[in-house]
Amino acid sequence: MLTYIVRRILSSVPVLAVVSFVTFWGLRIAYDPLLKFRSARNAATILPIQRKRLGLDQPIVVQWTKWFGKAVRGDLGVSDRTNNAVWGELMHHMGTTMHLVIWGTVVSAIIAISIGIYSAVKQYSVGDYAFTGLSYIGIAMPPFWFALMAIVALVTWPKVHWNLDQPIFYSIGLHGTGRSGVFNLDYYRHLALPVLTLAVQSIASWSRYMRASMLDVLGADYIRAARAKGVPKRRVVLSHALRNALVPLVTVMALDTAFLVGGLIITEKIYSIPGTGSYFLDSLSAGDAPALLGYTLLTAVIVIAANLVADVLYGVLDPRIRLA
């Protein structure tokens, strides 16, 4: 198991190298690292010095190698915009993003799995058809539009209609002014809408997947055998069937990680949450190449790590799979 994980981590290095090189090169073409010196009064004397200092006189491969060598040691350079270390800034924003990632994943997984089980056990019932219809809408709906409609329906409308001082749910940030921590209602009133926005598409597609997987498993011989043993139906579904149906779902959930990270960009913008998605958008509008490069590498590492976790989980959930 351990050798498998180590080998997987090592084999992901080339992918990260290729991705970061392409990004590095592309950003070098798109953004002039010397831009801020060009308008200086003594530009003619400063430019060559700065070019040498930043290593821009060397071939692009050499420049990238130096950058990558530092990056694997946690040094992602300095932001053009804030002059702070990119690594530190990313970690800071990551802390905020993790609230959304953890809640979003947990909420979508629990709801999607519950709906999937219900729809499979009550196949072709009214509830099953209703969830099927909702999932078609959930998959087709642009998440940002869902966010806008959710704000109108759950924030603006109740506030206006019941003439409230404060809305029931908030649509800005993760905490009220002067508040912090996660053990207070204020946090959850802020969290509800962003998490819902992040989760809606995952719930729609994962619940369809869970339904299909569950139906598949419920038809298996070992389910019939478990019933013949006298295991009550509830336990057959929640223990024997669920455990088997979860195996393929885990892979799908991991493959959707890149999608989730993309969803953070939209969610964090709409709800003004200062996470990595906002960091990306701010860096992009400021033309902050080192920050964009750091963001790309970080998301790539996260997606690769999620896939590794999924494969390990796959091995844990299904004893027939041997990781080697």
Partner 1 sequence: MNNAVDTSLFAPSGPGGGNEAILEVRDLCVGFPSDDGILHAVDNVSFDLRANETMGIVGESGSGKSVTSMAILGLLPKYAKITGSVKFRGEEILGVRDKDLTAIRGAKIAMVFQDALTSLNPVFRVGDQIAEAVSVHRKCDRKELRERSLELLELVGIPNPVARLEQFPHEYSGGMRQRAMIAMAIANEPDILIADEPTTALDVTIQAQVLDVLERIRDRTSSSIMLITHDLGVVAGVADRVLVMYAGRQVEMATVDDLFYRGLHPYAQGLLASLPRLDRRGDSGQLSRIHGQPPSLVFLPPGCAFNPRCPHAQPGVCDQNVPLLREVERDHFSSCIRAEELVAKGSES
Partner 2 sequence: MSNADLELAVGAEPVARTQWQLFRRRFFKHRLAVVSLVILILITAACAFASRVAPYDISQLDLSLLGTVTGPSWKHWMGTTDSGVDQFSQILHAGQISLQIGFAVAVLSTLFGVAVGALSGFYGGALDKTISAFTDGFLVVPQLAILAVLLQYFGHSPRVIILVLAGLGWTYVARVSRGQVLSFKEKEFVEAARASGAGGPRIIVRHILPNMVGPIMVNLTLSVAGAVITESTLTFLGYGTQPPDTSWGLMLSQNEGAINDTAKLHLLLFPGLMLLIVVMCVNFLGDGLRDAFDPQATHSR
Positions touching partner 2 (CB under 8 A) are 15-16, 18-19, 22-23, 26-27, 30, 136-137, 139-145, 148-149, 151-152, 155-157, 160, 171, 212, 258-259, 261-262, 265-266, 269, 280-281, 284-285, 292, 295-296, 299-300, 303-304
Query: What is the helix (H) or strand (E) element at residue 42, kind and residue range?
Result: none
Nearer to partner 1 among residue 17 and residue 242 (C-beta): 242
Query: Cβ–Cβ contacts within 10 Å for residue 71, how many?
Result: 22
Partners of 159 in beta bridges: none
Report the nearest approach of partner 1 to the CB of residue 233 (Å). Answer: 6
Give the single-character DSSP code of 25. Answer: H
Q: Which of residues 240-259 bind partner 1 (CB under 8 A)?
A: 240, 243-244, 247
Nearer to partner 1, 2 or 228 (CB): 228
Torsional sign, CA 289, 291, 293, 299: negative
Taking alpha carbons only, the member of 11, 40, 21, 56 closest to residue 307 is 11
Smaller CB distance to partner 1: residue 14 or 319?
A: 319
Number of residues that bind partner 1 (CB under 8 A): 22
The residue within the footprint of partner 1, chosen from 224, 238, 259, 301 (CB under 8 A), is 224
User: How far apart, in whole angstroms, are the C-alpha atoms of residue 278 and residue 97?
Assistant: 9
CA end-to-end span of the chain: 7
DSSP state string for 62-88 = HHHHHHHHHHTTT---B-TTT-SBHHH
The rounded radius of gyration (Å) of the Cα atoms in the chain is 24
The entry of partner 1, partner 2, none near residue 157 (CB within 5 to 8 angstroms by kind) is partner 2
190 is an interface residue for partner 1 by CB under 8 A? no
CB of 149 or CB of 164, closer to partner 2 = 149
Verify binding: residue 226, partner 1, rule CB under 8 A.
yes
Q: Is 225 in the site for partner 1 (CB under 8 A)?
A: yes
Write the DSSP symbol of residue 220.
S
**With CB under 8 A as the contact rule, which of the stretches 21-29, 93-101, 167-175, 217-225 interacts with partner 1?**
217-225
Contact partner, 312, from partner 1, partner 2, none, Cβ < 5-8 Å per class: none
Minimum gap (Å) between residue 239 Cβ and partner 2: 25
CB of 178 or CB of 230, closer to partner 1: 230
- With tokens 């003594």, the residue in question is 42
**16 residue type, one letter:** L
Tokens of 314: 């796959």
From partner 2, partner 1, none, interface partner of 137 (C-beta below 5 to 8 A by class): partner 2
Q: Which two tokens stand for residue 115?
A: 């709906």
Which among partner 1, partner 2, none contacts residue 231 (Cβ within 5 to 8 A by kind)? partner 1
Q: In DSSP terms, which residues pair with 85 in a beta bridge?
A: 78
Is residue 230 a contact residue for partner 1 (CB under 8 A)? yes
- Return phi, psi of residue 22, to 5°: -60, -45
Q: Are 289 and 31 in contact (CB under 8 A)?
A: yes
Residues at the interface with partner 1 (CB under 8 A): 220-222, 224-233, 235, 240, 243-244, 247, 317-320
